[in-house]
Structure 1
Amino acid sequence: MDIATIVGLVSGFIFIIWGILISGEIGSFIDISSILIVIGGTLASTLISYPIKSFLGSFKVVKNAFFHEEISPDGVIAQIIKLANVARKEGLLSLEELAEGIDDKFLKKGIMLIVDGTDPELVRNILETELVFLEERHTEGQSLFETMGSFAPAYGMLGTLIGLINMLKKLEDPSSIGPNMSVALVTTFYGSFLANVVFLPMANKLKIRSNREILVKELMVEGLLSIQAGENPRIIEEKLKTFVPPELRTDYKDQLESEGA
């Protein structure tokens, strides 16, 4: 579970409601027609913009924003070094048995390609092609929330215009101008709130997670190709460390020595 996403959303709601209560009352910001215009209009325009399958898949994307098991680059590097040591001692064919105990399907696929004696250039092409389509799938989920983030303020403004039109029809009654103006502006509030507290932050979180996952997958590709090329595990370690920020790099000296590298 991603604590940051939950804390961010909850704190966003709390601080805004708190600010409202300090200077007014929460009842003034509740208007059913405004909610219908902003949420209904945003969903309708998003449905027009995307295929129904992608639209329904957004619910799964929302789940990924809250529940996501992030792959540690540090753990992947350690795993690659272990594979390199085994391949160096026992040959590439010995990796097939180790692949059975690996949960990551992408890494497992790469290992099996190497074991099967696939040409290194073809191995790179196959894995990088899979990365391209993985990134495209991720981008579609991100763009869906970005689209909703752009539509919500627009429908907020549309609702405000509707409220102003209704207000202008009743100018002969001065007592109705204040309440009608308040309702008109509430719609803009809803649109801005949903865009900046929910949709756009969610899109940004998904983008960051996608970039991190792609980075780890690219690390796997380089590690597997280095193993196939028969490079020394120490050289592979130094090469893969370039994918990780200096402050997060780990020394694998003990592991290399224990494996007899």
Structure 2
Amino acid sequence: MDKLSLAGLLLGLGGILGGQLLEGGELSILFQGAAFLIVFGGTLGAVMLQSPLNVFLAGIKMGRWVFVTPKLSPQKLIYQITAWSKQARKDGILILEPHIARSSDLFVKKGLQLLVDGNSAEKIREVLEVDNHAYEQLRFQSARIWESAAGYAPTIGILGAVLGLIHVMQSLSEPSKLGAGIAVAFISTIYGVGLANLVFLPMANKLKMLILQQVVMREILVDGLTAIASGESSRFIESKLQGFIP
């Protein structure tokens, strides 16, 4: 669990609700099912309309990364590549073949298989960089559905406010209800702007940062495997790969 993300969300919500209370307002007026349905449903529909199915589903699944961050350990990967290098220099490249079956990462499997098959460093890099580029593009497109949601939500919120005002105009014969009706109408705008800036946009930016970290992990693997294929020493490989870690 990413405690910082959770704390940030709670702090943002707490600030808004706390401000409402300090101004003498009631919290109950902020909870309007119709307004939430308009904003959330409209935003979801717009995002679905613009996105291919695979990108949309991947983006939804990635949303949990904001609070349950994937465990990435570049240092551990560097140690593993260095160990492979030592084994390959001592006993030959084929000694790495058992590691293919042991790995659960398809990218690692592919890289090791290319290495064990005796491909040159240039061929290994060429194949893996194409794979890495496709991975990066799909992940960034998926993360952008949250960015798109942040763009649509405020506009949908304004649409909800207009619909609420239309309903208020139909009740002009009852002046006592106009104040409350107008207040409720603008709750849609609050939902739209709040979801966009407190949830959707921060999630999109957090996911982009995590994707970049994953891409760096893959770049470490590519550089490590090509260095092994070139016959570089394990000490040189480790020193080179440590440069990826700030």
TM-score computed with the length of structure 1 as normaliser: 0.85
The runs of at least 4 consecutive aligned structure 1 residues that moved more than 6 Å come to none
How far residue 106 of structure 1 moved from its aligned partner, in angstroms, is 1.6
Give me the whole-angstrom Cα distance separating, in 2, the residues matched to 1:159 and 1:240: 53
Give me the whole-angstrom Cα distance separating, in 2, the residues matched to 1:50 and 1:114: 37
Per-residue deviation, residues 119-147 of structure 1 (Å, max 9, x unmatched): 32221111111101111221122111111
Backbone CA RMSD of aligned residues: 2.0
How far residue 186 of structure 1 moved from its aligned partner, in angstroms, is 1.2
Letter in 2 for 1:78: Y
- The number of aligned residues is 245
Q: 1:123 to 1:65 in 2, by over 3 A?
A: same
Give me the whole-angstrom Cα distance separating, in 1, the residues matched to 2:140 and 2:42: 23
Instruction: Output aligned runs, 1:105-120, within 5 Å.
Output: 105-120=106-121
Give me the whole-angstrom Cα distance separating, in 2, the residues matched to 1:47 and 1:98: 41
How far residue 168 of structure 1 moved from its aligned partner, in angstroms, is 4.4
Letter in 1 for 2:33: I
Instruction: Output aligned runs, 1:95-114, within 5 Å.
Output: 95-114=96-115
Equivalent in the alignment of 1:13: 13
Equivalent in the alignment of 1:161: 162
Give me the whole-angstrom Cα distance separating, in 2, the residues matched to 1:152 and 1:119: 50
How far residue 56 of structure 1 moved from its aligned partner, in angstroms, is 4.0
Give the gaps of 5 or more residues in structure 2. Answer: none
How far residue 90 of structure 1 moved from its aligned partner, in angstroms, is 1.4
Letter in 2 for 1:104: D
Matched position secondary structure for 2:163: helix
Per-residue deviation, residues 166-225 of structure 1 (Å, max 9, x unmatched): 444555654344223212221110001111121111111111110000011001100110
Letter in 2 for 1:94: I
Instruction: Output aligned runs, 1:227-238, within 5 Å.
Output: 227-238=228-239
Give the gaps of 5 or more residues in structure 1. Answer: 246-261
Equivalent in the alignment of 2:36: 35
Q: 1:38 to 1:122 in 2, by over 3 A?
A: same
Letter in 1 for 2:34: S
Query: Is contact 2:120-2:230 (8 Å) kept?
Result: no
TM-score computed with the length of structure 2 as normaliser: 0.90
Equivalent in the alignment of 1:249: none
Letter in 1 for 2:19: G
Equivalent in the alignment of 1:197: 198
Matched position secondary structure for 2:102: coil
Q: 1:120 to 1:53 in 2, by over 3 A?
A: closer
Per-residue deviation, residues 82-138 of structure 1 (Å, max 9, x unmatched): 111111111212121344433433223212211111132221111111101111221
Equivalent in the alignment of 1:209: 210
Q: 1:74 to 1:10 in 2, by over 3 A?
A: same
